Amino acid sequence: MTGIGAGLLLQLGLGALAVVSALMAAPSLRSRAGGILCTLIAVTGFVTGLAALLGATGGLLIPIALPMDPLLLAPDRLGGLFMLVVSGVGILVSLYSMSSTRGPDASRTAWVAMPVFLVGMQLVPAATDSVSFLLAWEIMTLGSTVLLLADHASRASVASAGIWYSAMSQLSFFFILAGFAVLAAASGGTSFANLQIESGSWPANVAFVLFLLGFGGKAELVPLHVWVPRVLPEAPSHVSAAMSGAMVKVGVYGGLLVCVRLLPDGPAWWGIAIMLIGGASALYGILQASVSSDLKVLLAYSTTENMGLVFLGLGASMLLRGYDATAAADAALVAALLLAVSHAAFKSTLFLGAGAIIHATGERNLDRLGGLGARMPVTAAAFGVASLGAAAIPITSGFVAEWMLLQSLIHGGRLDGAVVSVAASVAMPLAVAVIALTAGLALLTFVKAYGIAFLARPRSTAAADAHEVPPLMQLALALGALSVLALGLLPGPVAALVAHTVSPNPTAAVQSVGLGGVSLPGIGAVLDPIMLVVLSALVAIPVIVSIIVSARRHPHRTVDLPWGGGGSRARPRMQYTATSYAEPLVRVFDDVLRPSRDVQVTHVAESRYLVERVQVEQRVSDVFETRLYRPVLNLFQRYGIVVRQVANGSIHRYLSYSFVALLIVLIVVSL
Amino acid sequence: MNATLSAIIIAFVQVVLFVFLAPLLMGVIRQVRATIEGRAGAGIWQPWRDVRKLLAKNPVRAEGSSWMLTAGPVALMVSSLLLCVLLPLVGTIPFPSIPSDLFVIVSVMLIGVVALALVGLDGGTAFGGMGSSRHMTVAALVEPTLLLAVYALSIPAQTSTISAIVETRLFSPAVIISPVSVLALVALSIAIMAETARLPIDNPGTHLELTMLHEAMTLEASGRDLAWLEVGSWLKLAALLGLVSNLVVPWGVVTEFSALALAVGVVSIAVKVLVLGVLLSVGEIFLAKVRLFQVPELLAGSFALAFLAVTASYLVA
């Protein structure tokens, strides 16, 4: 047995052990034992994935007696990359959950589901045939659904989220199953090697659309993202981190599997369709995130944005490859993968940070937070670094990926000085504009999230009484933040490794230069973050020295009444909140967001001219949910009411149904 | 001479020159405005005196404000100084591993934007939050214009490296007056006005009004914190004006390193920036600040120009 096979087997064994331990262990030991075993599962997956990414081959054959291609788990380089990403998030989440879980989050069921979820996620990228892929996919979905429902007894919103999640994931599964069925019918095999058919043919087109719907649903693309703002906020935070950081990446892997591996070189409209959906998701996701005051809803929508950008890069690379702009296409694809990797790092850290805030304050409404920076320094630092990553600020991972995507796009419109095509010369500037607006709004979103939650003064007593979370949670947060920085400072080796997974000629696409810098030789662009840091340090030295010298002579003076404006201390209530922070944006994008605002003014009894209190309530609902899903759901509901009359409980009626059915069968058989 | 060494010398000269030039530029802009408005004005050295005064004071901080109040101004300063290092102001000789890529430069500028916004929030007052919120909204809406203008400028040079773009313009001046370049420059200028909080997006002369953007964020800062915030903002304005002037009038910029060329480069960029500053000041006399909620329309207009510039360069050329 090869090393990879042993790793996969070990994971399965550890998973079984973790399930047994969750069932048997005493409640006081359950979280500790489960967390340790889950960490071991994730570490095993990390090593296995790394080996596969570096080019090790081998796998695990699952013997079956059915007449189809064998079930083989043998990750290739691309699968290895995603195993690495998923298990990396798994390590953070497992460490964190060891001390974060309490109450219903630490129940027996939840700890049984956790290893199932982790193992399922890692087996999907390892699968090399459609049957084991679908099996692993369902294991992953099952595990995540159970984890989501941990707290359903005390909160009604969790149960509703569970229904949405189950419905949407089964829809995804149905589309993926149908896609594989179409491919299998056309090609006559079930393993990925045998599934390949000609990309221009109609079964390929049908399968492409089905896969796009299926994987797009898992990757939170509009309009299939409706489960996201319900599920990710309602799940326990470590589960949200695993879902957003890892499970969504499995959806991205599915997209890559289809577009790069199974059906490469598709027609131009495939690329354009993916770019359109990706661009729409990016813009819609970040708009909703920027106006949200609920920290976890904000992070959930921001996931839609990031996945939109990933698919935008994927679509651009497909379009460009069709026009033989190979260098730009490769760069776009590597950029998409880097975005996925960096998203795994920063988004899981952000969700864990949100979990730490909830752990300390019980609040996830930004309007009631504030001043946490002084009370929870480690969480604040980790959340800050991850926010910088999400806002694509230099020396974080998010920046490198967006830079590479922009470079590939601006070089995609032309090839050797000639215009590639009209489609590309309109699509590329539009894509750049979408990325730019997304980046700008992401900046606002994360300045808001960090600034309102961690800076200034607490807006509620819960925030004022907050304390730093236990050391293991701090450790997970710190590891996450470090990975965001490491990916941003050393993008060269990472990008070069990633290029090996998708490009036939990786060294022509991406190279590592200097101390971890990245270079795109086909495009002629270079970025060396470490040099940028050195340069910043050089220019910062005189400023910092002058500050230190002058701080000794003129120290800060803390005053109770700094700018009291008339003598009264400005109260914390007078600060800007997350809602007011996003108010200008809500006005600017009024037509898209359609907020509903309710202002209630209570007057003083004696005079109509004096106001006693003003209450403002603003809701921004999801346009897709109210306009697209509600009508369909209402239709189903009406249908359900009608059908209820057909099945009204009368035994005579049911017997007559059976009789008629039998008659029809007999008639059909006799024909 | 060795390219790296000359790049280092030029970067050093740029930083020193602009640290000196930026307060002077502000002095000139204010004095020109005062003179035209019939006021005596404080003289062109007043910003220097202000900075010296602020640096010698004990800064005051509100209870509950954090380290951001100290670190934010430093971050803004570093971002502005990096702009002075990376942009081809005196010369176009880039560092070998950090080419002056415009996407990187825009992101470096965003560090300063974020730092200022966080300082605004840190004070814990309504004004700071308000300024921060508006500042970030404008910054978000400016971003598409900025990056598309970069895209349009990058097409003739086939790279987004700004020193290569300036050199292309220097060696083939026809590029400068091509319609594509003019559209891109107009869009870029509007974007820079918004980024540096000038009229008609923000009124730099305003104080304690409900309309202010930049001033609102610095209200809680005092002493050296305020000094660094101010110098950082001035530096950013000076560097971006230097960028625009080198894009319009690239002559005088150092492409081959020599002592004479360096002297010419220093004098020419100083003159260009100051002249542009005077033009800016005169132009601002005739402008009123637009309403906050008309700013998006202005920015949408500039975005349309930038988009036209890019598509025109593909479809017309």
The DSSP result for A176-221, as a single string, is HHHHHHHHHHHHS--BHHHH---TTSHHHHHHHHHHHHHHHHHTT-
CA nearest to B103 within chain A: A403
CA nearest to B134 within chain A: A584
| Predicted-complex ipTM score | 0.94
Q: Where would I find the H helices in A391-470?
A: 397-410, 422-454, 461-464
Task: List, run by run, the mean pLDDT of 10-residue segments along chain B (317 residues).
Answer: 82 92 94 92 92 89 82 93 90 78 90 92 84 91 90 84 87 85 90 85 70 81 90 94 91 84 90 93 87 86 89 74
The DSSP result for B67-136, as a single string, is THHHHHHHHHHHHHHHHHHHS-SSB----SSS--BHHHHHHHHHHHHHHHHHHHHHT-SHHHHHHHHHHH
Where in the sequence is the domain holding B238, given as residue range(s)?
3-315
Residue A422 pLDDT > 80: no
Record: contact B70-A403, CB cut-off 8 A: no
Mean pLDDT calculated for residue range A98-104: 81
Bridge partners (DSSP) listed for residue A61: A72
Q: How near does any CA of chain B get to the CA of A575, in Å?
A: 5
Mean pLDDT calculated for residue range A51-65: 85
Virtual CA dihedral for B299, B304, B306, B311, nearest 10 degrees?
160
DSSP code for B292: G
User: Which pLDDT does position B215 carry in this prediction?
Assistant: 83
CA nearest to A585 within chain B: B137
Residue A665 pLDDT > 80: yes
Spatial distance between the Cα atoms of A404 and A400, rounded to a whole number of angstroms: 6
CB B254 within 8 A of CB B92: yes
Q: Looking at beta carbons, which residues of chain B come within 8 Å of A544? A: 74
Strands A511-513 vs A517-520: parallel, antiparallel or unpaired = antiparallel
Question: Could you say which of A451, A526, A559 has the minimum Cβ distance to residue B60?
Answer: A559
Q: Where would I find the H helices in A188-323?
A: 192-195, 202-218, 228-234, 237-242, 248-256, 268-291, 295-322
Question: Could you say which of B97, B111, B121 has the minimum Cβ distance to residue A451?
Answer: B121
Question: Per-residue confidence at A104, pLDDT binned at 50, 70, 90?
Answer: confident
Q: What is the CA radius of gyration of chain A?
A: 27
Residue A568 pLDDT > 80: no
CB B187 within 8 A of CB B199: no
Spatial distance between the Cα atoms of A149 and A140, rounded to a whole number of angstroms: 14
In this structure, what token pair is assigned to residue A234?
């309602």
Spatial distance between the Cα atoms of B308 and A20, rounded to a whole number of angstroms: 64
Q: Looking at beta carbons, which residues of chain B come within 8 Å of A414? A: 155, 158, 314
Q: Looking at beta carbons, which residues of chain A come within 8 Å of B121? A: 447, 451-452, 455-456, 576
Residue A83 pLDDT > 90: yes
Cβ atoms within 10 Å of A25's Cβ, excluding its own: 17
Q: Looking at beta carbons, which residues of chain A come within 8 Å of B128? A: 576
User: Which pLDDT does position B1 carry in this prediction?
Assistant: 58
**Cβ-proximal residues to A25 (8 Å cutoff; 6+ apart), any chain:** A33, A34
Q: How far is CA A561 from CA A375, A377, A590, B124, in A?
A: 22, 25, 38, 12
**Max mean pLDDT range (A379-393, A394-408, B97-111, B282-296):** A379-393
Q: Looking at beta carbons, which residues of chain A come within 8 Å of B140? A: 290, 437, 440-441, 443-444, 585
User: Which pLDDT does position A297 carry in this prediction?
Assistant: 93
Q: How far is CA A494 from CA A400, A401, A491, A519, in A?
A: 11, 11, 5, 12
| Among A79-83, A276-280, B25-29, B181-185, the least confident range | B181-185
Q: How near does any CA of chain A get to the CA of B138, in Å?
A: 9
| Among A35-49, A69-83, A378-392, the least confident range | A69-83
ω before A223 within 30° of 0 (cis)? yes
Spatial distance between the Cα atoms of B275 and A463, rounded to a whole number of angstroms: 52
User: Which residue type is seen at B122?
Assistant: D
User: Which pLDDT does position A338 carry in this prediction?
Assistant: 93
User: Which pLDDT does position A520 carry in this prediction?
Assistant: 84
Mean pLDDT calculated for residue range A609-636: 87
Question: Burial, A472: exposed, middle or buried (Cβ in 10 Å; 0-12, 13-18, 19+)?
Answer: middle
Record: contact B117-A419, CB cut-off 8 A: no
**Max mean pLDDT range (A7-16, A22-31, A588-597):** A7-16
Nearest CA-CA partner of A7 in A78, A70, A87, A63: A87
Q: How near does any CA of chain A get to the CA of B125, in Å?
A: 5
User: Which pLDDT does position A417 carry in this prediction?
Assistant: 59
Spatial distance between the Cα atoms of A589 and A1, rounded to a whole number of angstroms: 58
Please give the residue that has the higher pLDDT: either B199 or A637: A637
Nearest CA-CA partner of A81 in A408, A495, A529: A495
Nearest CA-CA partner of A378 in A359, A399, A396, A398: A359
User: Which pLDDT does position B171 carry in this prediction?
Assistant: 87
Taking one residue from A and the other from B, the number of pairs with CB-CB distance under 8 angstroms is: 252
Degrees, nearest 5: CA angle A545-A547-A553: 110
Question: How many domains does chain B divide into?
Answer: 1
pLDDT tens digit sequence for A438-464: 999 999 999 999 999 998 888 888 888
CB A94 within 8 A of CB A31: no
Helix axis angle, A108-126 to A3-24, nearest 10°: 170
Degrees, nearest 5: CA angle B314-B315-B317: 70
Record: contact A414-B117, CB cut-off 8 A: no
**Cβ-proximal residues to A237 (8 Å cutoff; 6+ apart), any chain:** A100, A296, A351, A352, A354, A355, A356, A358, A359
Question: Could you say which of A439, A514, A539 has the minimum Cβ distance to residue B78?
Answer: A539
Strands A607-619 vs A596-604: parallel, antiparallel or unpaired = antiparallel
In this structure, what token pair is assigned to residue B185?
């420059």
Q: How near does any CA of chain A get to the CA of B314, in Å?
A: 6
CB B34 within 8 A of CB B41: yes
DSSP code for A150: G
**Three-state secondary structure string covering A551-604:** HHHCCCEEECCCCCCCCCCCCHHHCCCHHHHCHHHHHHCHHHHCCEEEEEEEEE
Spatial distance between the Cα atoms of A345 and A339, rounded to a whole number of angstroms: 10
Q: How far is CA A53 from CA A253, A359, A554, B314, in A?
A: 14, 36, 56, 39
Degrees, nearest 5: CA angle A277-A281-A282: 120
Residue A343 φ/ψ, nearest 5 degrees: -60, -40
User: Which pLDDT does position A595 carry in this prediction?
Assistant: 85
Spatial distance between the Cα atoms of B237 and B222, rounded to a whole number of angstroms: 21
Spatial distance between the Cα atoms of B53 and B47, rounded to a whole number of angstroms: 10
Nearest CA-CA partner of B55 in B221, B282, B184, B236: B221
User: Which residue type is seen at B202?
Assistant: D
Max alpha carbon distance in chain A (Å)? Answer: 104
A169-190 core/surface letters (b: 16 or more CB in 10 A; e: else): beebbebbbbbbebbbebbebb
Please give the residue that has the higher pLDDT: either A197 or A331: A331
Virtual CA dihedral for A557, A560, A565, A570, nearest 10 degrees?
130
B198-235 core/surface letters (b: 16 or more CB in 10 A; e: else): bbbbbbbeeeeeeebbbbbbbbbbbbbbbbbbbbbbbb
Question: Burial, A656: exposed, middle or buried (Cβ in 10 Å; 0-12, 13-18, 19+)?
Answer: exposed
Please give the residue that has the higher pLDDT: either A668 or B313: A668
Average pLDDT, chain A: 88
Record: contact B125-A570, CB cut-off 8 A: yes
